[in-house]
Chain A
Amino acid sequence: MIRVAVLSGKGGTGKTVVAVALATLMGPSLILADCDVDASNLELLLNPRCMRVEEFRGGQIARIDPDLCVGCGACADACRFGAILPQEPAYGVVPHRCEGCGVCTQVCPALAVALEPRVTGEIRVSATRYGTLVHARLLPGCGNSGLLVHEVKRIALQEGKDCRYLLMDGPPGTGCPVISTLAGADMVVLVTEPSISALHDLRRVVMVARGGGRRLSAVINRWDLDPKQSGDVGKYCREEGIPVLGRIPFDFTVMESVRRGEPVTLWQSPASEEMGRIWRGLSAQLADSDATDVPR
């Protein structure tokens, strides 16, 4: 299986639109994973039919038994995350600050604190026209999205074990959920746009994405909004040895297709034509890596 991650650094550059367009072009042996678990949007363009929902238990959370708490405050003093506060009638845990480290259980003289499993999200396995989709939702106030991304990928690898491709729509940024998305990826498609912010953020995500045997390539979205800055992005990519697979023009069809909840490639338009070119470039790279890479 070849694992392709779509990332960008900066948010809103068009990762999801590009990922869905690729999904329509990659052929039937495809499994999809939405690794942007904070704000998963693949489902909005793929009309998924949910087959299965799983609760996700992301770590643990402390719970203080008010009947046992003696009110000494040792737990609050020891907690480095400010997650324990004096409340009535006993000390209480602020759920979104608790990291589940258990230091409070170590120091409580009354054995009033225990760790409990914590549900932090749900994972859905859905059928779509282009392949099975594994997507998730982080519950409000629950952190550790990297762990949830890891689980989405694990289920996707299981569900799609016989598939030729795993396509992952990644989160913005460079932090924990991005690192989790990158783990084990073979190819990274970086979607960027002609702005100084997008280029700045692209540089930062390239630093994180490099290594691990991953091959990087780039797509410049809405390139004609600023041809000069698109040139700067292209120049940066050349210097870094990152092939630019295509330049998508600004095209109202994209907005229209998103509104309808459908892939842009279902319409004939300048943007979908360019998506075809991007896929041909990517598949040439994939064929190349198929031939040269040691299978996992």
Chain B
Amino acid sequence: MKIALASGKGGTGKTMVAGNLAEVLYRQREVVLADCDVEEPNLHLFFPAQAETEPVTIPVPRFDESLCTRCGKCADACRFGAVTVLPSRILFLPPLCHACGGCLLACPEGAVTEGERRVGEVRVSRPGEHLRLVSGFLDSGEIHAPRVVRAVKEWAGDAPLVILDAPPGIACPVIETLEGCDACLLVTESTPFGLHDLALAAELAGYLHIPVGIVINRSDGADDGIRAYAQEKGLPVLLTIPFDRRIAEVQNRGKLICREIPGWEGTFADLFARAEALAGERR
């Protein structure tokens, strides 16, 4: 079973919910926690442990100038402007390359081969006996976040329970994270920003046919807008976490409220049961 935490808006508490869920579950069962927010991964801060590192690479074309006849077919095939054939040499711009292999296919001379280019890494650790943490890290200045997300999901594998912490937003890296998930918990906050971005994320989850449940975080009680939206769309509100300075303090120090504040362990166990039921709807 794969359960994703997503939000649209950043900083609503995805990582907090993912971390607390994993913490209350892993003593009873095997849990894989997958940090798919590869631009800004944070789960390792809450579960410090020695990690093994694996590079994430993408294929990159190599041009053998001695075989090249300057026919220009590789440049014609590239839709992203990454290849230009000049009279004297081939100009290749790695940042524009999508690693589609089009230039390789197009070359009639066999002058294009492929190598590998590093775009990030995956760190795998075991912070608890039954807890495996797989975190993706996109290299600085790289744009291939979805590739690193895919690598994280591959390393997470088909474990019986994978909890995925998605990046904010609704674009490629989020789509890559959510694909194939059985349920998606959307973490929101009781502000117009929270509601606006919740609706966008719910729309994406709907497009991907993933059942959605809502978690309202930092609630000051004025959640009427979110509740009205949830009711209109038929989305269950699974948990409401109140605004509380103590929670913020625990979270800010990299600790987990289910361990630090009494009562939260049961609350997150209950949230998981509800998420599991939601995932069951899909199966």
Residues of B in contact with A, size category: 35 or more
Q: Known interface pairs A80-B99, A107-B105, A141-B207. Does A175 touch B245 (Cβ–Cβ under 8 Å)? A: no
Is A96's beta carbon under 8 Å from chain B?
yes
Report whether A173 and B169 are in contact in the complex, using a CB–CB cutoff of 8 Å: yes
Report yes or no: B40 in contact with A255, Cβ–Cβ below 8 A.
no
Range, interface on chain A = 35 or more
Q: Is A13 within 8 A of B208, CB to CB? A: no
Contact pick for A175, options B12, B98, B138, B193, CB 8 Å: B138
Segment with Cβ contacts to A, from B3-11, B24-32, B151-159, B274-282 = B3-11
Chain A positions within 8 Å of B69 at CB level: none
Q: Which chain B residue lies CB-closest to A44?
A: B192
Name B217's closest neighbour in chain A (CB-CB). Answer: A12
Inter-chain contacts of B239 with A (CB < 8 A):
none
A271 vs chain B, min Cβ distance (A): 15
Least Cβ–Cβ distance between A282 and chain B, in angstroms: 23
Question: Which residue of B98, B138, B170 is within 8 Å of A99 (Cβ)?
Answer: B98
A49 to B99, CA, bound (A): 42
Tell whether, in the assembled complex, residue A196 and residue B253 are in contact, meaning their CB atoms are under 8 Å apart.
yes
A207 → chain B closest CB, angstroms: 4
Answer whether A145 and B101 are a contact pair too, CB < 8 Å, given A106-B77, A172-B10, A175-B39.
no
List A residues 132-170 near B (Cβ within 8 Å). 138, 140-146
Mark interface residues in A232-266 (1 if CB within 8 Å of B CB, else 0).
Answer: 00000000000000000000000100110100000
Q: Which residues of B contact A143 (CB under 8 A)?
A: 146, 171-172, 175
Q: Does A174 sit within 8 A of B, measured CB to CB?
A: yes
Whether B15 sits at the interface, judged by CB under 8 Å, is yes
9 contacts between A and B (CB under 8 A): A39-B10, A101-B98, A107-B105, A140-B203, A144-B171, A173-B37, A175-B142, A179-B143, A197-B254
A: residues with CB less than 8 A from B are 8-13, 16, 36-39, 41, 44, 59-60, 78, 80-81, 96, 99-103, 106-107, 115, 138, 140-146, 171-179, 193-197, 200-201, 204-205, 207-208, 225-226, 229, 255, 258-259, 261
